């Protein structure tokens, strides 16, 4: 995390430094960006830089924390649904909002996987914990698998979807640095449908298949 002196900088100056760092990490990779080039581009002397951050990893952590916070803001808090249809609607709304944010903020898209990968619990998994608990309450998500495992796997599917989205927005090996034009080939509805298909099978596919095999109504097994 940034050192106290960084937090005492004016907000505009802090955002400028983090914005420059975010751009470099997005363009060159979380592990490939040069700390010296970042501070030079941000017009920060080496002496001042080490008053603000312990080093490159400290700066990277601050950038990725910001990315993760914006992803969670795009998702919004999970609000319990009234029924299965409401659950699907809220899932679609959340995934569409996240896809729209990633489309409009390609630097966050480029760093999303790194930001999520550094989390070990915390607000990111808390969001999925609320989603899974609500789905289980409504009978949309199976209860024959450990809750924590379902939460972790659900979050992993979303993380994989972020990587898939990144691949769609990448030309060759270079990540786009400008938002896609309106109507470009990155429809939020397609992403939501793909995610729902994957997760629906994960959440209830085994139970549904077992019910169907004995000639029961699949909806009775949930």
Q: Name the H helices within 29-55.
A: 35-41, 46-52
pLDDT in tens, 129-138: 999 999 999 9
Do 12 and 49 fall into the same domain? yes
Q: What is the CATH number of the domain that holds 76?
A: 1.10.357
Band (215; pLDDT cuts 50, 70, 90): very low
Do 133 and 209 fall into the same domain? yes
Give the number of domains in the chain. 2
Q: Which domain holds residue 125?
A: 64-221
Q: How far is CA 209 from CA 104, 161, 201, 202, 217, in A?
A: 39, 25, 10, 12, 10
Q: Which two tokens stand for residue 206?
A: 């085994």
Of 33-42, 52-61, 161-170, which range is least confident? 161-170
Residues 177-202: what's their mean pLDDT? 63
Do 144 and 46 fall into the same domain? no
Q: What is the CATH number of the domain that holds 50?
A: 1.10.10.60
Do 91 and 39 fall into the same domain? no
* DSSP structure class, residue 182: T
Q: How far is CA 148 from CA 130, 151, 155, in A?
A: 11, 5, 11
Do 141 and 69 fall into the same domain? yes
pTM higher than 0.85? no
């Amino acid at each position: 995390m940034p050192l106290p002196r960084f937090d005492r900088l004016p907000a505009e100056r802090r955002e400028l430094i983090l914005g420059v760092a975010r751009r470099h990490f997005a363009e060159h990779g979380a592990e490939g960006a040069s700390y010296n080039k970042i501070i030079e581009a941000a017009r920060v002397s080496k002496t001042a830089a080490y008053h603000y951050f312990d080093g490159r990893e400290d700066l990277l952590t601050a950038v990725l924390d910001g990315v993760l916070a914006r992803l969670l803001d795009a998702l919004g808090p999970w609000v319990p649904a009234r029924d299965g249809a409401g659950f699907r609607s809220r899932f679609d709304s959340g995934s569409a909002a996240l896809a729209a944010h990633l489309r409009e903020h390609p630097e966050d898209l480029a760093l999303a996987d790194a930001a999520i990968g550094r989390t070990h619990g915390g607000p990111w998994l808390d969001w999925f914990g609320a989603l899974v608990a609500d789905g289980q309450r409504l009978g949309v998500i199976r209860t024959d698998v450990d809750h924590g495992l379902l939460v972790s796997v659900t979050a992993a599917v979303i993380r994989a979807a972020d990587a898939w989205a990144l691949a769609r927005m990448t030309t060759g090996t270079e990540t786009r640095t400008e938002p896609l034009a309106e109507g470009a080939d990155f429809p939020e509805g397609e992403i939501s449908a793909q995610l729902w298909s994957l997760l629906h099978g994960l959440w209830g596919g085994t139970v549904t298949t077992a019910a169907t095999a004995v000639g029961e109504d699949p909806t009775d097994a949930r």
